Amino acid sequence: MTGSAGAGTSSAGQAAVGSAGAGGAVGKGGGSSVAGAQNAGGTSSGAGGATGSAGSPATSGAGTGGAATGGASSGGAGASGSSAGGATAGPDCSTPMPTGGDVHMGSSINGTADGLGYGIWTNGSGGSITTFANAHAFSAAWNNSQDFLAHVGLDFNASKAYTAYGAIIAQYVESKTGTAGGYSSIGIYGWTHSPCVEWYINEDAFGALYERGTAMATIDGATYSLYTTTTTGTGGANACESGHTGGWTQMISTRKTARQCGTVTVSDHFAAWTQQGWKLGTLSSVHINVEVGGGTGTIQFPVANVTTASN
C-alpha cells in the first residue's frame, strides 16, 4: 500500500500522507476551493459552541463558515439512501489517549505507525502529529499554520474500485481545544484515481457543520447532506493519478448533527454518491483526518482506525 491523500484547498503545497507500506508522496495543494471542510462561502463566525463529551452523540458548535470559494458546484438532486452497514460495534468513547508516542514536525511528513499510514501537511508556520507504535491513535497541534492537515489511515496501491474491499469502516474518538481559523473539518478523508476525486465525510468541526447540497442520505442511522463541486490547483498534480492535468472533483458528505465518537461506514457514502450519478475512480486512500484553516489548537484521537472487509 502506498500513500495517496491530500486536499485541494487554498494555497499551493503538497501533503504527505503515509503509506501502509512504503511511504508515498501525496498531494495537498492549491486551488480555489477550501477543502471539503465546510467549502462554504462567507467568513467564519468565530468560536464553536458547546462541544459534546467524548461519549455523547454530539452537539454541534455555533458557527464557522470557512472562507472558501470553489469551482462550479452541483448538488445532486433528490433523496439518496444507503444501507447502515451492518451491526459493527462502536468504539469505546471513553478510551484514553495512549502515553508516549513519536512526535513528527514539518511541513510535509509521512510514515507508518502500527500498520497505518500517517501524514501532516501545512502551508504556514507550524504543525505536528504524534503517532503511536502500538495503538491506532494520534494527536495533532497547529499554530497559525494557515491550511493544516493531520491524518492516519489506509492507503492502497491496487487499482480497484471501492466495491472490491467490501465494507470499509472507520472508527474514531476525538476531543479538541483551541481554534481552527476560518474553517475546519474533522472526519474521514481521501482520494480516488481515474477519475481523480478528493472526498470528505464531515463528522465534526470547531464550529457548526456546514451543510451543502440538495441531496440527502441516511447512513449509520444519521442524516448527511451530499454535495459535489470541482476545483483546480497544484493539489491534483500531486494527489491525482500519474499524468493527471487540470481540475478535479470533490465529493462531500456532511453529518447533520456533529459528534466526537462513532463508526462511519465509508463504503455506504461511496454508494450514496454513486447513486447520485457521481463517478468515483479506483480507491487511493481512506484516512481519519483533521483539517483547519489557521488558528492555534490541538486535537486528540485516542481511537483512529480504518478497516476493510477484504484486501
Query: What is the chain's pLDDT, residue by residue, as a tens digit (311 residues)?
Result: 433 344 443 333 333 333 333 333 333 433 333 334 433 333 333 333 333 333 333 333 333 333 333 333 344 444 444 444 455 789 999 999 999 999 999 888 899 999 999 998 887 777 999 999 999 999 999 998 888 999 999 999 889 999 999 999 999 999 999 999 999 999 999 999 999 999 999 999 999 998 888 999 999 999 999 999 999 875 566 788 988 888 999 999 999 999 999 999 999 999 999 999 999 999 999 999 999 999 999 999 999 999 999 87
Range of the domain at 184: 16-308
Question: Is 174 among the catalytic positions?
Answer: no
Q: Check if the beta carbon of residue 289 is closer than 8 Å to that of residue 187.
A: yes
Q: For residue 62, what are the CA distances in angstroms to 15, 18, 112, 147, 209?
A: 29, 33, 36, 21, 9
Nearest CA among 140, 142, 100 for reference residue 118: 140
Residue tagged active-site, from 174, 198, 211, 241:
198
C-alpha cell at 284: 487511493
Q: Check if the beta carbon of residue 110 is closer than 8 Å to that of residue 25.
A: yes
CB-based burial label for 15 (10 Å; 0-12, 13-18, 19+): buried
Nearest CA among 13, 45, 40, 18 for reference residue 29: 13
> Is 59 a domain residue?
yes
Residue tagged active-site, from 174, 203, 211, 291:
291
> Is 227 a domain residue?
yes
Provide the CATH number for the domain around residue 89. Answer: 2.60.120.180
Work out the widest C-alpha separation in the chain, in whole angstroms: 48
CB-based burial label for 284 (10 Å; 0-12, 13-18, 19+): buried
> Is 233 a domain residue?
yes
Nearest CA among 256, 255, 242, 252 for reference residue 278: 252
> Is 3 a domain residue?
no
Task: Say what the pLDDT of residue 105 is.
Answer: 92
> Is 8 a domain residue?
no
Please name the amino acid found at residue 54: A
Neighbours of 133 (CB within 10 A): 11
Q: Are strands 248-255 and 197-204 parallel, antiparallel or unpaired?
A: parallel
Question: Is 211 among the catalytic positions?
Answer: no
> Is 210 a domain residue?
yes
Could you give the number of structural domains in the chain?
Answer: 1
> Is 9 a domain residue?
no
> Is 1 a domain residue?
no
